[in-house]
Structure 1
Amino acid sequence: MTATDHLPDATPTNWVDRYAPAALRPWLKLGRFDRPTGIWLLMLPGWQGIALAAAMERQAPNPVLMLEFFLGAALMRAAGCAYNDIVDRDFDAKVARTAGRPIPSGQISVKQAWAFVVACALVSLAILLTMGWVAIALGVASLGLVAAYPFMKRITWWPQAWLGLTFNWGALLGYAAATGHLSWPAGLLYASGFFWTLGYDTIYAVQDLEDDALAGVKSSALRLGDAAPKAVLGFYVAAFVLALAAAWVGGLGPLFLPPAALFGVHLSRQAARLDVKDGVAALALFKSNSLAGLLLVMAMAAGMWSGPASSI
């Protein structure tokens, strides 16, 4: 595969393949900038935490803080993807969907990839240092989760659960950056995000069922088999209930409920449409979680309206 070929899980019309200079394409693909869904899924828990904190104070979310989380998520996702590809380069070479990635295909060396990881991490650190000490401590603590993630598929059938712990750390970080502390609503939101990620990443893993089995890679989709749709529904029910609990404990107003209901409907439709024999459809369902997460951000932000007496 050349630098001009799009990868199987990136749309043929993605901006990297259409507009980026050929010399930059391997680097942008190393950071998955041709597949922005992951940026959204890493960023949205942070936005949810910021919106929850603001709603509890009956304020609008801080736009500067939300921009910082967007930039930080894009950079840390790029660093995490490159690190994951360094660790998984031998596995990736055996899987059709990942064999064309820059490292296994030889477009970028392991040494160059490490330099990319360090550069992204340093810029992200500069952004993190603009936040309070609680947020800084949480940001540093997240590195342990990130470092361990690529090895989970070797030792457990549930690497998706570890990704849930990792990707939703931003809910705690966003809340702490907005308030300077943590609270039970933030913890409940984090738990909600854990089950949300467990659901959508199980859907994502459906694409690789045959290749993962041949390569000896473990996943929740392989472990669950034909029971995956029912399990995903269960994960999503838990995510929805915990999101409601976060809003309830946080004293959010009733305007939280309409977009939250749409969030729940969106998740239930994903579970209903999941077919473990259709990897292409599974990828589309996975990508739709950008909208699902944005609906929950909107729900949290809408909860700022109304006084404590009329909270949900």
Structure 2
Amino acid sequence: MTDAIVPDTQHKGLVAALPLPWRHYASLARFDRPIGWWLLFWPCTWGLFLAGATSHWVTVGWLLLGSVAMRGAGCVFNDIVDADLDARVARTAARPIASGAVSKRAAWAWIMVLAAVGLVVLVQLRWQAQVVALGSLALVAAYPFMKRVTGWPQAWLGLVFTWGAPTGWVEATGFAHPAPLGPLYLGCWAWCMGYDTIYACQDREDDALIGIGSSALSFGRHVRAGVTGLYALALLGWAGAIWLVRPDPLALVALVPVAIHLGWQALTLQPDDGAGALRRFRNNRFAGLLMAAACYVVGAAA
């Protein structure tokens, strides 16, 4: 790496001001790193808006709260499972469970608290969306083990972290009119796999040393080409979904801003520049906003 890796435990903002015991739990849930819940949240809005529910702002608020809580619970579970691996990676060695600052038993209790918040959100949704949302639990539970059995764990993460798209779509439509959901979810999957490959560039050396899988390793010298291809597939899927909602070439123009942004990310990526990779990964919060705007425009006009 040409730039020093920033440890996950360098806190900022309100989390840094918390008393130490509370700071550990906030760190476990990544409350000081909002990029994760934004990436989980944006696909929820894409499904909701593209399905025409462009005025359901209360639902948007509930989905944001659910994204914060469930992303936090997922991070705690991931840290419980990965404690041994985290202790061997420079960026993650000081995480609360890996360092021994929080016991696994206390971490499980924290998961229950976060899951309770998620349950409150779940009951706000129509029953069909509840069924879809609960369908993600098996995927979430399996994800931390994927890096141990495959060189492409980001492919599994793409299934997990974009589950909000079908949840939002079904919240708006029930189980009627499912056709656009297939290409929408495909695009979401490819987008997630692309940005998490960028994120994984930070850990390539450590991952190789301890023998765990990563698409940033599996792509080898072709990381930039791989990310470019994934982002192209994302745009193709999203274009297909938009076309099925509104078969008008002008509707596809809504994708131009997000296409330009993802193109910039992919074409300027330097896989050996850890700090640059992290910046591009974080820029996907803006990419998500651009896609939400596209879905809003198309859904409102359909």
TM-score (norm 2): 0.93
After superposing the two structures, state which structure 1 stretch, 130-139 or 145-154, moved more.
130-139
Residue 19 (structure 1) shift: 3.2
List aligned pairs for 1:58-77, cutoff 5 A: 60-77=54-71
Letter in 1 for 2:131: A
Matching residue within 272, 275, 295 for 1:300:
295
Q: What is the match of residue 260 of structure 1?
A: 255
The answer to whether residue 87 in structure 2 is matched with residue 93 in structure 1 is yes
Tell me the equivalent position of 1:166: 160
Distance 1:209 1:178 in 2: 40
In 2: Cα distance, 1:20 partner to 1:281 partner: 29
CA contact (8 A) 2:46 2:295 kept: yes
Of 198, 207, 210, the match for 2:205? 210
- Partner residue of 2:276 out of 270, 278, 281: 281
Q: Kindly indicate whether residue 121 of structure 2 is the aligned counterpart of residue 121 of structure 1.
A: no
Mean CA deviation greater in 155-164 or 257-266: 257-266
State the partner residue of 1:19. 17
Which sections of structure 1, spanning at least 5 residues, go unmatched?
1-6, 308-312
Identity %: 44
C-alpha separation in 1, matches of 2:70 and 2:301: 36
Aligned-partner Cα distance in 2 for 1:254–1:27: 49
Q: Is the 8 A contact 1:256 1:301 kept in 2?
A: no
* Residues 67-91 of structure 1, C-alpha deviations (whole Å, 9 max, x = no match): 0110000000000000000000000
- Alignment partner of 1:250 is 2:245: yes
Partner of 1:184, secondary structure, is coil
Q: Secondary structure at the match of 2:295?
A: helix
How far the C-alpha of 1:253 sits from its partner, in A, is 6.3
Q: CA RMSD in A?
A: 1.8
Q: Deviations over 1:87-118 (max 9, x none)?
A: 00000000000001110111111000001111
Please list every run of 5 or more consecutive structure 2 residues that lacks an aligned counterpart in the other structure.
none
Letter in 2 for 1:93: A
Q: What is the distance in 2 between the residues matched to 1:305 and 1:175?
A: 14
> Hey, what does 2:50 align to over in structure 1?
52
Q: Residue 290 of structure 2: SS of its match in structure 1?
A: helix
Aligned match of 2:189: 194
The count of residues paired between Structure 1 and Structure 2 equals 297
Q: CA deviation at 1:304?
A: 3.5
Give 1:141 deviation, angstroms. Answer: 1.1
1:173-208 CA-to-partner distances (Å, cap 9, x unmatched) read 011112222511122111100000110000000000
Residues 7-59 of structure 1, C-alpha deviation per residue, up to 9 Å, x if partnerless?
935596732444333331111100011111000000110011111111xxxx5
Deviations 1:122-166 (A, max 9, x none): 220121122112111111110000000000000001100000000
- The answer for the alignment partner of 1:3 in structure 2 is none
Q: Which segment drifts farther, 38-47 or 173-182?
A: 173-182
Cross-structure match for 1:224: 219
State the shift of 1:248 in Å. Answer: 0.4
Name the aligned partner's letter for residue 77 of structure 1.
Answer: R
Alignment partners' CA distance in 1, 2:62 and 2:267: 36
Corresponding residue of 2:265: 270
Letter in 1 for 2:274: G
SS of aligned partner of 1:276: coil
Greater relative contact order: 1 or 2 (C-alpha under 8 angstroms, separation 6 or more)?
A: 2
Conserved 8 A contact 2:154-2:214? yes
| Greater than 4 Å deviation, 4+ residue runs | 9-13, 252-256
Decide which moves more: 153-162 or 174-183.
174-183
Q: TM-score, normalised by structure 1?
A: 0.91
